[in-house]
Amino acid sequence: MPEDPSSFIRFSLTVRSDLAATARAVLVRECESANPSILTEFVPSHDEARLWVTLPAAVYSTAIHALIGELPAAEFGSAVQWSPSDVKQAA
């Protein structure tokens, strides 16, 4: 994906419930200066946690590399790139 300095990438990450804190820690460690937004949703019926992650496009590859290295069984959802100019304010 092209790296527009003002763009963000949003993706989901699914891990076992007991690894949610590890996934969050990896993202914060690798992208702390970029201030990633991480929303965690637990899915008790599957013993899984889904993390919805939004971070600057410039740190996306760093984050993915770190997550794959530390959580090889993680499932990654589609990544969507957007920029603030794509968001229209309601009148």
Domain extent at residue 64: 15-82
On the question of pLDDT at 90 being above 70, the answer is: no
- Cα–Cα distance, 69 to 59 (Å, whole number): 16
In a domain, 89, yes or no: no
- For 63-74, write each residue's pLDDT tens digit: 999 999 999 999
Please give the Cα distance from 85 to 30 (Å, whole number).
Answer: 26
Residue 1 is assigned to a structural domain of this protein: no
What total of structural domains would you count in the chain?
Answer: 1
- Distances 66 to 1, 25, 83, 86 between C-alpha atoms, Å: 18, 11, 24, 28
- Report the alpha-carbon distance of residue 56 to residue 42 in Å, rounded: 24
Could you tell me the CATH number of the domain that includes residue 75? Answer: 3.30.70
* pLDDT at 72 (0 to 100): 94
Let me know if residue 67 belongs to a domain. yes
Residues facing 55 on adjacent strands: 9
Does some domain include residue 50? yes
Residue 2 has pLDDT above 60, yes or no: no
Residue 48 lies in a domain: yes
pLDDT band at residue 32 using 50, 70 and 90 as cut-offs: confident
pTM of the model: 0.84
